[in-house]
Each structure stands twice: as structure tokens, then as C-alpha cells.
Structure 1
Amino acid sequence: MDHRRALALEYAEHQYLRTRVQGLANLPGNPHGASLHGEPGCGAFVVAGNPSPMMNRVHGDCGQQAGSLVDLIQTCAAYAPAIALIAESVKVAPALDLQGQPLQRLKGWTHGQLFAPLAEIVAPPSLLDIEPVSDSTLEDFCALHGESFNTPAAARTINQAAFGGLLNEGRGYLYLVREQGMAVAGAALFLADNDVAYLGTAFTTKAARGQGYHRALIVHRLQQAAALGAQSVGATALVNSQSRRNLEHCGLRLSHLQTLYRAVP
């Protein structure tokens, strides 16, 4: 594992997720109870209206002292935030002690983090018509996202607001693929301020899976990232998933594993 690259990728992912929560916090009256803590590159974000670890997280691997991380966990304790840590091996520890604060691993939340310098990737052109999402088509994107992930209705409103915040921030980009006018696949791209382009969420309708849409969206985002001036690209996928295989087919390689933990009450 290249530790410098691993930290750069963790930072880019954290910034992508934090920016979505920042969008929620910026809404008039902050209806979803979103808040941000600590420094932007080394802090935490929480959302009272959504308990998902995607919305409630402490950035663990950022060079910050363990005591400061414990302070963040305790400050946000009411939201039970996850803390993202780089796993040293495939044998992920089920429990850890962070300066006296016991942590328990979240089952199902160990992922592969993939990385590549964009200069080393030669992405073939996509033959699909991939459209950028705008304010007028954001609802289509979010409806497809909710359908693909079976998101509860209560969480869909929050997700749409978060993706809207990502678009409005200026470094977030969303894309849709349509067939015969119907949205069948979508994906996100975020340009972190460390020149790493993070390939965010990607999804396809159940009926359209296996037809190459996911891979085409990877290629398109790689091309967009290069055009926007990014130097490297990162992405997250389950280790044994088709998503990982698609990312590796397009030139990304496994950097390290990331595991989410949560404080033991």
C-alpha cells in the first residue's frame, strides 16, 4: 500500500460526502438537522434525519491525533457516527481501542478503495449518450437512485437535497444514461481540492444491468475528470463485486481496504 495515495483517496471521499451534507446544512432552516464539525479536511459531519453512515461520519485517517478523533466521536455521539479507517490487512479487526474509546466494526461496511493516476489510463470513447444532470433533471437522477438502492421514502428527500447541494457547490457532477427517453443508469463525480477525482455513487435499474452502462459511466467520468484537470482518480467498491471488476477493467487498481467502525456506547 502506498500510504500517501491511500490518504489522498480517503481525503477525496470524505470531501465528497461532507460536501453533500454541507448542502443539507445550507438549506433554509436546516430542516434535516445537518451539521459539520472540525476542519473540512479532517472533521466530521452528521444528519439528524438520516442515520446512514454515508451521512454520519468521522474522517479517521487524516493525520489527526487520536485524542482529537475521540473528541469528534463524542461531540457527535447522539448521531452514532461511523469512523472510517484504513485496514492494514484483509483480516479486519472486529474491534479496536482508540485512546480508551472502544470501537466496533460495522458489518457490511468494509470496502476496497481503488486508485489510479489519470495519466496512466487510456479510456476508450463511450458510444452511449450520457447527459449531465442539471437542476431540471435532478429529480430523475434521484428517483432512479432511490429505486436502484431501494431507499426508504423518508430518506429520498434528504438524498435529493444532498445531491442538489453537490451540484450547486461547483465541483460535483452528476450523469444520466437514457434509453428511449427513460433513465436507466446514473453516476456521480467529485473533484476534491487535492486534485483527486472521486467516482461517487453509480447505479443501474435492475432491468438494465449487465448491458455495459456502469462501465460506460466509469469511462465517461474518467474522461471528464481529465478534462477538468484532475491528476488522479479514486473510487470505492465492495471487494468481490462487479463494480470493482468494472473499475479495474477501466484501469483503476486496489489501493487499500477501508473499514467503518462505530463507538461502543
Structure 2
Amino acid sequence: MDRRRALALEYAEHQYLRARVQGLANLAGNPHGASLLGEPGCGAFVVAGNPSPMMNRVHGDWAQQACRLVELLQTCAACAPAIALIAESAKVAGTLELEGQPLQRLKGWTHGQLFASIDELAPPSSALDIEPVTALNLERFCALHSEGFNTPAAARPINQAAFSGLLNDGRGHLYLLRDRGVAVAGAALFIADNGVAYLGTAFTTRAARGLGHHRALIGHRVQQAAALGARSVAATALVNSQSRRNLEHYGLRLSHLQTLYRAESQG
């Protein structure tokens, strides 16, 4: 594992997730209880109204910032934030300690982190109709996202507000793919300030799966990343998933594995 590259990838992903929570925190009255602590390089973001590890994280370099990370875990304990451990091996420990703080692995939250330099990628242009998401079609994007991930109805307003915040951030970009005029898939792109383009969430409606839409959205986002000046591209996928195979089809390669943990007292 190239540690410097791995940390750059992790930083880009956390900037993407942090920007979504910043969008929630910016809402009038902060109805979802979103808050951000620390800095982009070592900090935390939490949402009292949503327990997902995607919305509640402590992030930083375990080797260099361990004490500060434990402080953040304890400060944000009410929201049970997750913290990511990076490693080369899939044989991750069920429990760990960080500066005396016991951590418990979250089952189902080990993912592959993929990476490539932008000049190593040359995806072909897609003949499919892919359009940028704006305020005019954001609601449709979010409805398809909810369908693709079976999002509970109670969580849908938070997701829509988070995606709206991502667009307002300026570094975030969302795309809708239409098949014969019907929107059936979508995806996110985030250009982090370290030059890494992070390929965020991607989804396809159940009826439209297996038709190459996910691959088309990967290729389109890589092209957009190059046009926006990114120096490299990163993405997250389950290790044995079709998503990983689609990413590797375009030249991304496994950098390392990421496993999420929570402070043991938080369950």
C-alpha cells in the first residue's frame, strides 16, 4: 500500500461526505442537527437526525493524529460516529484500540478504495444521454437515488438536502442518465482540494440494471474530472462487487481497504 496515496484518497472521500453534511448544517434552523468540528484534514461531521455512517464520521490520520481523533470520538459520542481504518489486508480485526479507546468493527462496512492517475485513464465517450443535475432536476435525481438504494421515507428529505448542499458547494457535481428519454441512473462527482476527483454515489433503477449505465456514468465522470483539472480519480466499492469490476474496466486499481469502526461504548 502506498500510504501517501491512500491518505490522499481517504481525504478526498471525507471532503465529499463532509460537504454533504455542511449542506445540512447550512439549512435555516439546522433542522437535522448537523454539525462539523475540526478541519478538513482532521475533524468530524455528525447529523443527529440520521444515524448512517455516511453522515457521521471522525476522520484523520491514525498514525499522526490519534489523540485528536479519540477526542473527537468522545465529543461526538451521542451521534456514534464511525472512524475509518485503512489496510492492505482484508483480515481486519473485530476490535481495536486507539490511544486506549476500544473500537468495534462495523459489519458490512469494509470496502475497497480504488485509484488511478488521470493520465492513465481514457474512457470512450458515451452515446447515452447524460445531463448535469441542477435545482430543476435535483428532485428527480434524489427520487431515483432513493429507489436505487431503498432509502426509508424518513431519510429522504435529509438525502435531498445533502445533495443540494453538495451542488451549492461548487466542488460537487451530479449527473442523470436517460435511456430513451427516461431518467434511470445517476451519479456524483466531487473535486477535492488535493486534486483527487472522488466518484461518489452511483445508482441505477432496478429495471434498468445490467445495461451498461453504471459504466457509462463512470466514464462520463472521469472525462468531467479531467476537464475540471483533477490529477487523479478515486472511488469506493465493495471488494467483490460489479461496481469494482466496472471501475477496473476503466483503469482504476485497488489502492487499499477501508474498514469502519465505532467506539465500543457506542455499540
Q: Would you call these one fold, judging by a TM-score over 0.5?
A: yes
Aligned Cα RMSD in Å?
0.9
- Percent identity of paired positions between Structure 1 and Structure 2: 81
Deviation at 1:62, TM superposition (A): 6.4
**SS of residue matched to 1:199:** strand
Cα gap change, 1:155 to 1:165, in 2 (>3 Å): same
**SS of residue matched to 2:73:** helix
**SS of residue matched to 1:53:** coil
Once residues 15 and 232 of structure 1 are traced to their aligned partners in structure 2, the CA distance between those partners, rounded to angstroms, is: 15
Indicate whether 1:254 and 2:249 are aligned: no
Indicate whether 1:184 and 2:210 are aligned: no
Deviation at 1:95, TM superposition (A): 0.7
In structure 2, what residue type is equivalent to 1:35? S
Once residues 93 and 237 of structure 2 are traced to their aligned partners in structure 1, the CA distance between those partners, rounded to angstroms, is: 19
**CA offset digits 1:13-34 (Å, max 9, x no partner):** 0000000000000001000000
Cα gap change, 1:60 to 1:85, in 2 (>3 Å): farther
Indicate whether 1:230 and 2:223 are aligned: no
In structure 1, the partner of 2:205 is 205
Once residues 175 and 62 of structure 1 are traced to their aligned partners in structure 2, the CA distance between those partners, rounded to angstroms, is: 34
Kindly report which structure 2 residues correspond to 1:2-81, keeping only aligned pairs within 5 A, or say none.
2-61=2-61, 64-81=64-81
Q: Is the 8 A contact 1:106 1:262 kept in 2?
A: yes
Cα gap change, 1:109 to 1:260, in 2 (>3 Å): same
Deviation at 1:125, TM superposition (A): 1.0
Q: Is the 8 A contact 1:42 1:64 kept in 2?
A: no
Deviation at 1:63, TM superposition (A): 5.4
Once residues 75 and 50 of structure 2 are traced to their aligned partners in structure 1, the CA distance between those partners, rounded to angstroms, is: 18
Which blocks of at least 5 consecutive residues in structure 1 are unaligned? none
Indicate whether 1:158 and 2:184 are aligned: no
11-20 or 84-93, larger mean C-alpha shift: 84-93
In structure 2, what residue type is equivalent to 1:101? Q
Once residues 204 and 99 of structure 2 are traced to their aligned partners in structure 1, the CA distance between those partners, rounded to angstroms, is: 42
In structure 2, the partner of 1:125 is 125
Deviation at 1:172, TM superposition (A): 0.3
Kindly report which structure 2 residues correspond to 1:132-143, keeping only aligned pairs within 5 A, or say none.
132-143=132-143
**CA offset digits 1:185-231 (Å, max 9, x no partner):** 00000000000000000000011000000000000000000000000
Which blocks of at least 5 consecutive residues in structure 2 are unaligned? none
Deviation at 1:122, TM superposition (A): 1.4
Deviation at 1:88, TM superposition (A): 3.9
Q: TM-score scaled to structure 1, two decimals?
A: 0.98
Deviation at 1:179, TM superposition (A): 2.0
Once residues 211 and 88 of structure 2 are traced to their aligned partners in structure 1, the CA distance between those partners, rounded to angstroms, is: 35
In structure 1, what residue type is equivalent to 2:97? D
**SS of residue matched to 2:146:** helix
Once residues 106 and 217 of structure 1 are traced to their aligned partners in structure 2, the CA distance between those partners, rounded to angstroms, is: 29
Once residues 167 and 98 of structure 2 are traced to their aligned partners in structure 1, the CA distance between those partners, rounded to angstroms, is: 36
Q: Is the 8 A contact 1:87 1:257 kept in 2?
A: yes
Once residues 62 and 214 of structure 2 are traced to their aligned partners in structure 1, the CA distance between those partners, rounded to angstroms, is: 30
Once residues 208 and 95 of structure 1 are traced to their aligned partners in structure 2, the CA distance between those partners, rounded to angstroms, is: 40
Deviation at 1:39, TM superposition (A): 1.1
In structure 2, the partner of 1:97 is 97
Q: Is the 8 A contact 1:42 1:62 kept in 2?
A: no
Q: Is the 8 A contact 2:42 2:65 kept in 1?
A: no
Q: Is the 8 A contact 1:11 1:62 kept in 2?
A: no
Q: Is the 8 A contact 2:128 2:179 kept in 1?
A: no
